[in-house]
């Protein structure tokens, strides 16, 4: 299999930088400059890895559907499409602007910053920053709601199986479909919610992270809504690298999912937002609002080099 980008399958780090860009100039020279910069990112990353080995730096650069058509018009991943917005009544998961995503993560925020700065310097004025979010590990890998996050992530070799395209699209094997959403948490309202109600909404205990049994889970529980199975009874999985973010004005979760197919994420999001025939939806949506939504594809390192 071609070489996946370094940021896809490794375990979580303490810090991450999420940089969403749009392309301002699409002249041939500008697009060529972008391709050259994207192809250089794995090497830039490795240079910093060698300089700061304890940081455990890794990175992923990925491209949105519309930008892909401009940058790489000769071939395209089979399932790459723009982010599919979902709406049901007052609940909405919007689709927002995003042509490129640089996901940088390590155990040192300064090293993340160095890589991000190098990439932006090479891209110059031909791109515009849409989002620049610093994610951090909160306590023992908890979301700001106080619940442990990422418990359902695949482990070991299964991470690659879940996240990486295989021979079903051989031209893009080793790549990964990425979906991002920035959620704004309504923490004041959440903290006023009784503990028992919080645990019902999540589907786990808060302190010791014990999942409720199937019989105990409410039909509106977050875990109940997103734990889906395909027509063969196999669990639909994604590899999450989400991280909390926040300052004095706003805080929440920068959600990011890697997958072999976009199908799993799209069905999970639909199950969260849209009410079923009995009116059940994910009640966590009552306390957290998605304000962005983007879809990308992270090609293999070989693809980036060969198409520069």
Q: Is residue 8 part of a domain?
A: no
Residue showing tokens 């917005």: 85
Q: Is residue 50 part of a domain?
A: yes
For 18, 165, 245, 253, 275, the CA distances from 108, given in Å and listed in that order, are: 14, 30, 16, 19, 41
| pLDDT, position 232 | 87
Q: Measured between alpha carbons, how far is 49 from 104 in angstroms, rounded to an integer?
A: 12
Residue 68 per-residue DSSP state:
H
The domain in which residue 95 lies consists of 15-306
pLDDT at 175 over 90: yes
pTM of the model as a whole: 0.97
Token couple for 184: 């704004």
What are the helix and strand counts (H, E) for the chain?
9, 12
Q: Is residue 129 part of a domain?
A: yes
pLDDT at 109 over 90: yes
What average pLDDT does this structure show over 31-38? 98
| pLDDT, position 1 | 82
**Beta pairing class for 176-185 and 294-298:** antiparallel
**Beta pairing class for 15-23 and 100-106:** antiparallel
CB within 8 Å of 213: residues ≥ 6 apart? none
Could you give the number of structural domains in the chain? 1
Q: Is residue 120 part of a domain?
A: yes
Neighbours of 220 (CB within 10 A): 21
Burial 249-268 (b: 16+ CB within 10 A, else e): eebbbbbbbbbbbbebbbeb
Q: Is residue 112 part of a domain?
A: yes
| pLDDT, position 219 | 97
What's the pLDDT tens digit per position in 182-193? Answer: 999 999 999 999
Of residues 231 and 301, more confidence is placed in 301
> Does residue 180 contact residue 101 with C-beta atoms inside 8 Å?
yes
Q: Is residue 222 part of a domain?
A: yes
Token couple for 79: 């399932």
| pLDDT, position 231 | 86
pLDDT at 308 over 90: no
| pLDDT, position 227 | 94
Residues written for the chain: 308
| pLDDT, position 75 | 97
Token couple for 241: 């690298």
pLDDT at 96 over 90: yes
In terms of DSSP H, where are the helices of the chain?
28-51, 65-71, 109-123, 158-163, 187-191, 195-202, 222-226, 263-273, 301-306
| pLDDT, position 30 | 97
Q: Which residues are catalytic?
A: 149
- 213 phi and psi, to 5 degrees? -70, 165
Percent of the chain exceeding pLDDT 90 equals 96
Q: What does pLDDT average to over the chain?
A: 97
CB within 8 Å of 113: residues ≥ 6 apart? 17
What's the pLDDT tens digit per position in 36-83? Answer: 999 999 999 999 999 999 999 999 999 999 999 999 999 999 999 999
Q: Measured between alpha carbons, how far is 102 from 105 in angstroms, rounded to an integer?
A: 10
Q: Is residue 104 part of a domain?
A: yes
Q: Is residue 234 part of a domain?
A: yes
> Does residue 198 contact residue 272 with C-beta atoms inside 8 Å?
no
> Does residue 229 contact residue 271 with C-beta atoms inside 8 Å?
no
Q: What angle do CA 260, 71, 35 make, to 5 degrees?
A: 95
What average pLDDT does this structure show over 155-179? 98
Q: Measured between alpha carbons, how far is 282 from 147 in angstroms, rounded to an integer?
A: 16
Residue 11 per-residue DSSP state:
P
Residue showing tokens 């695949």: 154
What's the pLDDT tens digit per position in 149-161? Answer: 988 899 999 999 9
> What are the beta bridge partners of residue 183?
253, 290
């Amino acid at each position: 299999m071609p070489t996946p980008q370094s940021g896809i399958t490794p375990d979580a780090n303490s810090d991450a930088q999420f940089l969403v860009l749009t392309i301002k100039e699409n002249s041939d020279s500008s697009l060529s400059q972008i391709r050259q910069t994207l192809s250089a990112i794995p090497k830039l990353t490795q240079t910093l890895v060698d300089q700061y080995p304890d940081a455990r730096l890794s990175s992923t650069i990925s491209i949105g559907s519309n930008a892909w058509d401009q940058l790489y018009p000769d071939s395209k991943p089979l399932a790459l499409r723009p982010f599919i917005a979902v709406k049901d009544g007052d609940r909405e998961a919007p689709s927002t602007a995003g042509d490129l995503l640089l996901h940088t993560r390590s155990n040192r925020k300064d090293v993340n910053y160095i890589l991000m700065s190098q990439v932006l310097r090479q891209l110059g004025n031909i791109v515009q920053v849409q989002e620049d979010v610093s994610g951090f590990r909160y306590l023992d890998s908890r979301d700001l709601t106080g619940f442990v996050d990422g418990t359902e992530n695949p482990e070991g070799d299964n991470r690659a199986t879940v996240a990486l395209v295989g021979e079903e699209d051989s031209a893009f094997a080793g790549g990964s479909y990425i979906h991002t959403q920035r959620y704004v948490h309504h923490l004041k309202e959440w903290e006023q919610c009784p503990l028992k109600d919080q645990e019902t909404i999540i589907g786990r205990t808060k302190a010791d992270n014990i999942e409720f049994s199937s019989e105990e889970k409410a039909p509106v529980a977050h875990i109940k809504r997103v734990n889906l199975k395909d027509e063969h009874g196999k669990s639909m999985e994604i590899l999450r690298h989400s991280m909390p973010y926040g300052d004095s004005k706003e805080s929440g979760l920068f959600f990011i999912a890697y997958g072999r197919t976009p199908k799993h994420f799209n069905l999970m999001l639909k199950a969260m937002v849209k009410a079923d025939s009995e009116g059940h939806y994910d009640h966590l949506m009552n306390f957290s609002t998605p304000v962005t939504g983007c879809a990308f594809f992270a090609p293999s390192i070989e693809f980036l080099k060969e198409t520069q």
